[in-house]
């Protein structure tokens, strides 16, 4: 999935918005997946 890659890129100072645009995924979907993983 693209979301773990976006997290990695975010740690390397690449904005989430830019990563999502390049990978063609929604920012809202990224943040939702991130919150679901945090709640597990």
Q: Which two tokens stand for residue 26?
A: 């929604």
Intervals of the chain under pLDDT 70: 1
Per the document, the length of the chain is: 40
The predicted-structure confidence for 2-12, as pLDDT tens digits, reads as follows 889 999 999 99
- Contact at 8 Å (CB) between 23 and 12? no
Question: In this predicted structure, what is the pLDDT of residue 25?
Answer: 93
Cα separation, 38 vs 18, in Å, equals 23
Domain assignments of the chain as residue spans, ordered by start:
2-38
pTM: 0.77
Decide if 34 contacts 3 (C-beta within 8 A).
yes
């Amino acid at each position: 999935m693209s979301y773990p890659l976006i997290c990695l890129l975010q740690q390397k100072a690449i904005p989430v918005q830019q990563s999502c645009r390049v990978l063609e995924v929604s920012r809202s979907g990224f943040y939702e997946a991130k919150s679901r993983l945090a709640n597990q």
